[in-house]
Chains A and B, each alone.
Chain A
């Protein structure tokens, strides 16, 4: 039987020749159109040899739940109008937090098939105009129905996975804190991110505020001591605390994809999509493992098979750290570290920018922000920047980068994607 892992091929090569991203954060004065326009303008400016947007033949736009969050659905034609693509085809894709990776996938298939040569893929989400309770409820629409009625929230599902991981492998909250601390170390280096402070910066700010108010000043010895303090880091869905969770965000991102043979007419430095995989998964009640996402395994097998590459070939990755435990599970599922060993590698600094396998140099969803529909192509934006050596202060130091990857999760593992990018 065909398992579908190693025999899939991209029929015609596809390259990214432009990428843009809005600032991510909470923007009461900007709506989805404003945010997408910001990303689109940067994408146009990033095409080295120039580009006429009238040449876009079709677009796919990821959006999870603006129908719920801002009571507006059918974002394809709205973005088409905004960007001047009208009257050509623009389609909305929905895969929960992986919505814009699915936009890229549709664009990839369209170019690979020969149907189109020049395609826009992107995504947008506008979440901050809702209350925290409304956002929690909106996101919970992507859990399985059984999880919903058992009272699970998004952080709750990941909290449960964390307890299973802790029990199986002997890890604890302190190991997840290494992920949070690392993401916050990268955060100040990303000018577009939602949070730009390290945990130590936040600790010192808290101490200064207490001193100014004449309140008792916390005497935390280090970041972990602060993160163990429930006043600094209250529980959300134990063992997920505030600093284990990505924020509520607004934002947009997009990439310009073209057929390989056209790539050099747009830039001397295109980034090729050489492997893509996507998997689906069941809820917590039916998944084969509580410490792994079956959808990740499928996505990874497909993408490695398609590209002919192995986990060892991938030099860095953006992975979907909606919650700290998710980053840990992903880096094991994708084969970057053996199962049950990831938390030790993280503790040894291997996933830091200077480490052997930098993960989430952007600050990750935790610090960069997670406007869910925009996240997939925003991860690709980071890989585009890193592979082209344009990541500024957060550029991975001392290495010639040519293979990067993005992993994007939708729902509670219901959709996972893995994409491998190459600079030639």
Chain B
């Protein structure tokens, strides 16, 4: 894997390339996503990039009716809530991410434990272009 600093900026650049990347400690094998520069387990700084499988299961979620301005700009509101959640990845770590492909108007239909697969949401144009991590039911 190419040389990029183990930083949030690198993590987001990988997302733009539709790669879900964490860092892995070469000494003890611990995986971090978003990436960390230092291993919190063994305190090693010998890290390598690790592409996550992008699979996991839903550990927690919420369906938001009153969102921050960037979500409102995407068209979400009280009548059109969106789902965001916590996914436990097959590699062990958890990640927070938007949850697509579920009925946010009917939260009772969304089940913890549902298998999930990664997705990359590209929103906005030009300088405002952003890529967001998302998951949807597998």
Contact = CB atoms under 8 A, between A and B. Distances in A.
> Per DSSP, are chain A's interface residues mostly helix, strand or loop, or mixed?
helix
Interface in A211-244: 234-240
A164 interface: yes
Contacts of A284: 60, 86, 94, 96
Interface in A316-334: none
B69 A133 contact: yes
Nearest to B95: A285
B30 interface: no
B137 to A, nearest CB: 16
Given A160-B60, A164-B60, A132 B96 contact: no
Nearest to A137: B68
Contact of B59 (A145, A164, A236): A164
Contact of B68 (A151, A160, A167, A290): A151
Contacts of A132: 66
A163 B62 contact: yes
B84 A150 contact: yes
Contacts of A149: 130, 132
Contacts of B20: none
Contacts of A167: 60, 112-113
Contacts of A286: 93-94
Of the listed residues B85, B93, B130, the one surrounded by the most CB atoms of chain A closer than 10 A to its CB is: B85
Nearest to A144: B96
B96 A285 contact: yes
A152 B107 CA distance: 16
A148 interface: yes
Contacts of B63: 159, 235, 237-238
Interface of B: 8, 33-34, 59-72, 78, 81-82, 84-86, 93-98, 107, 112-113, 130, 132-133
23 contacts: A136-B67, A137-B69, A140-B68, A146-B34, A146-B95, A150-B96, A151-B70, A159-B63, A160-B84, A163-B62, A163-B112, A164-B60, A167-B112, A167-B113, A235-B81, A235-B107, A236-B64, A236-B66, A238-B63, A284-B60, A285-B33, A285-B34, A290-B60
